[in-house]
């Protein structure tokens, strides 16, 4: 059987009052068609599923993008209007999940907000709004245009020579979309910035000395993942890591 990847869902409402947990179908297709895994939406709420239960069911996790930001209290700062909206229930779940997966070696891939969750869980601080910084570009999603135009490639990302992402992509400079407002300020002691935008914004990271696959990207590789030359190798590598984890877990069960 294919490995199972837990896709961290987002808390939302329909009809302005009915609470749901959802995930974009592009995330599910990227996991199924490119990573070669079974996508399973996980409600990021320890009231309904524990971290241990989620890790026992899934072989890896995709931390998805979301409109709410990680609360600044999680990295020792006070809340301001510039920090935007929050989802403290998801914060509690995902930050603990990241730390547990990193310690155990269970594969985890962070995208946009997920990149920020990976960063904060490992001790980083965040800028609330990159575009307000001197010399930085506006990395936010364009307000006009079709969805294809909003997710169009907008800037280069340069990876460290012979680094983790360079080896995965086979290219040192790639072109990506850009739909985020926040970014890393001070990288935590275990966060290695492996790729940057032309303005110096961190775009690709990994956890130093992690026991397994623990990568994050600030762009949205799930968009058109099956056809994008940058997204495909990233999700393929993640899928390989999930398969390896599933095989290892199966070996441990068989040995008992």
pLDDT digits (tens, 9 = 90+) for 14-71: 888 889 898 999 999 999 999 999 999 999 999 999 999 999 999 999 999 988 899 9
Q: Looking at 18-134, list the stretches that DSSP marks H as alpha helix, in order from N- to C-terminal side.
A: 25-29, 51-57, 88-104, 113-121
Average pLDDT of the chain, as a whole number: 92
The pLDDT value recorded for residue 16 is 81
Can you give the C-alpha Rg of the chain in angstroms?
Answer: 17
- Partner residues linked to 20 by β-bridges: 12
pLDDT at 255 over 60: no
State how far the Cα of 22 lies from the Cα of 39, in Å rounded to an integer.
13
The SS3 call for residue 250 is helix
Number of Cβ within 10 Å of residue 93's Cβ equals 24
- pLDDT-derived band at 235 (thresholds 50, 70, 90) equals very high
Residue 136 has pLDDT above 60, yes or no: yes
Compute the Cα dihedral for 56, 248, 99, 64 and give only its sign. Answer: negative
pLDDT at 141: 85
Q: What is the pLDDT of residue 253?
A: 44
Q: pTM of the predicted model, to two decimals?
A: 0.93
Among residues 213, 218, 189, the alpha carbon closest in space to that of 201 is found at: 218
The mean pLDDT of 215-241, rounded to a whole number, is 97
Q: What is the percent of the chain where pLDDT is above 70?
A: 97
Residue 14 to residues 11, 20, 42, Cα–Cα distance (Å): 10, 7, 18
- Give me the residues paired with residue 22 across strands: 10
Q: What is the pLDDT of residue 250?
A: 57
Helix 113-121 and helix 88-104, axial crossing angle in degrees, nearest 10: 60
Instruction: Write down the pLDDT at residue 72.
Output: 93
pLDDT category of residue 82 using cuts at 50, 70 and 90: confident
């Amino acid at each position: 059987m294919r490995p199972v990847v837990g896709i961290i869902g987002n808390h939302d409402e329909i009809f302005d009052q009915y609470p749901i947990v959802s995930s974009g179908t592009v995330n599910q297709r990227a996991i199924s068609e490119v990573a070669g895994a079974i996508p399973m939406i996980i409600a990021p709420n320890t009231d309904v599923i524990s971290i241990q239960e989620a890790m026992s069911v899934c072989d890896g996790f995709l931390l998805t993008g979301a409109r709410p930001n990680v609360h600044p209290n999680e990295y020792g700062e006070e809340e301001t209007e510039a920090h935007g909206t929050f989802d403290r229930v998801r914060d509690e779940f995902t930050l603990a999940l990241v730390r547990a997966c990193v310690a155990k070696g269970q594969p985890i891939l962070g995208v946009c907000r997920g990149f920020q969750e990976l960063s904060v869980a490992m001790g980083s601080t965040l800028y609330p709004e990159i575009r307000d910084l001197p010399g930085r570009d506006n990395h936010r999603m364009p307000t006009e245009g079709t969805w294809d135009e909003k997710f169009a490639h907008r800037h280069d990302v340069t990876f460290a020579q012979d680094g983790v992402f360079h080896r995965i992509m086979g290219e040192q400079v790639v072109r990506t979309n850009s739909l985020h407002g926040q970014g890393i300020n001070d990288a935590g002691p275990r966060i290695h910035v492996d790729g940057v935008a032309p303005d110096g914004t961190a775009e690709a990271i990994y956890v130093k000395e992690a026991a397994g696959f623990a990568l994050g990207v600030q762009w949205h590789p799930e968009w058109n993942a099956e056809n994008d030359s940058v997204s495909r190798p990233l999700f393929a590598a993640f899928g390989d890591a999930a398969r390896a984890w599933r095989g290892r877990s199966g070996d441990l069960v068989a040995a008992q």
